[in-house]
């Protein structure tokens, strides 16, 4: 993905370095300079200079044998620092866990980053360890998930229209059908306060929107464990989703007014 147009206020080299780090996603252990150049749209000479800088800074490691790069442990420490210093997550996580255990559902909280939703917290209700794969920091498509669609619905009309145009221009497969589903989800959020989506086989989810302390919106959801038979009944849990939302809102309100 090519870099977006930069603001004059941004440090160009820093911005490009961050774009390189963004290239590393789950399943991409090693990336060479040519692969990074293809993903960022930056010249190979620029990539070479910036990857060397990131190695020296401790954010990348260089595999000399394969002439490629992988993320360094420093990156993991940043995520840990965020999670442990977040007042919101310290308050919200116990409420999510209690709801998950009571209802026997997965509970997730996510925010948007470009065209993806990033989990801030994920409580997976399953006895099968192999299925506990969704964790904080994991990304899911904004256009296909109930989390993403609930977040899209929280946008003002102008920003929402701009995002939908960006998604359309990114040549997403079956965009016509997906766009219709997004519009249905937006209408559901406006009329009912929640939306429903089935993204992966046997996984259904309902989501609503909450406002964080910084004024930005996040999406809160319930989803069915892969081994459960709750898919057709998930809407029965809407009152419980709103109850959890109200509890979170109450805790955040206390912080704002303390």
Non-local CB neighbours of 129 within 8 Å, separated by 6+ positions? none
pLDDT of residue 130: 43
Tokens of 123: 């409580």
Instruction: Compute the distance between CA of residue 75 and CA of residue 160 in angstroms, rounded to an integer.
Output: 31
pLDDT of residue 134: 83
pLDDT of residue 7: 60
pLDDT of residue 231: 63
Model confidence, pTM = 0.90
Collect the ranges in the chain with pLDDT lower than 70: 1-9, 127-132, 226-227, 229-232
pLDDT of residue 197: 92
pLDDT of residue 2: 43
Instruction: Compute the distance between CA of residue 96 and CA of residue 89 in angstroms, rounded to an integer.
Output: 10
Show me where the domains of the chain are located. 12-72, 86-256
Q: Which fold has domain 12-72?
A: Arc Repressor Mutant, subunit A (1.10.10)
Query: pLDDT tens digits for 110-169?
Result: 999 999 999 999 998 875 554 457 889 999 999 999 999 999 999 999 999 999 999 999
pLDDT of residue 203: 76
Other C-beta atoms lying within 10 Å of the C-beta of residue 240:
15
- Domain 86-256 belongs in CATH node 3.90.800.10: no
């Amino acid at each position: 993905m090519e870099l977006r147009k930069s603001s004059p206020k941004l440090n160009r080299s820093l911005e490009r370095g961050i774009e390189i780090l963004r290239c590393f996603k789950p399943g991409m252990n090693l990336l060479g300079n040519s692969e990074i150049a293809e993903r960022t749209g930056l010249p190979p000479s620029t990539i070479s200079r910036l990857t060397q800088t990131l190695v020296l800074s401790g954010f990348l490691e260089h595999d000399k044998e394969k002439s490629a790069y992988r993320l360094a442990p420093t990156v993991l420490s940043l995520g840990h620092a965020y999670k442990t210093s977040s007042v919101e997550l310290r308050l919200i996580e116990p409420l999510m866990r209690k709801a998950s255990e009571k209802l026997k559902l997965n509970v997730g909280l996510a925010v948007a980053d470009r065209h993806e939703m990033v989990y801030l917290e994920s409580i997976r209700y399953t006895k099968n360890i192999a299925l506990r794969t969704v964790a904080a920091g994991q990304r899911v498509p904004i256009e296909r998930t109930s989390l993403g669609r609930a977040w899209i619905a929280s946008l003002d009309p102008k920003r929402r229209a701009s995002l939908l145009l960006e998604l359309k221009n990114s040549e997403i497969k079956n965009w016509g059908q997906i766009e219709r589903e997004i519009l249905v989800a937006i209408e559901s959020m406006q009329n009912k306060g929640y939306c429903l989506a089935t993204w992966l086989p046997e996984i259904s989810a309902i989501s609503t929107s909450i406002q964080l302390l910084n004024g930005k919106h996040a999406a809160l959801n319930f989803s069915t464990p892969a081994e459960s038979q709750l898919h057709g009944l998930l809407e029965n849990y809407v009152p419980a989703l709103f109850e959890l939302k109200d509890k979170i809102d109450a805790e955040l309100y206390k912080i704002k007014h303390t």
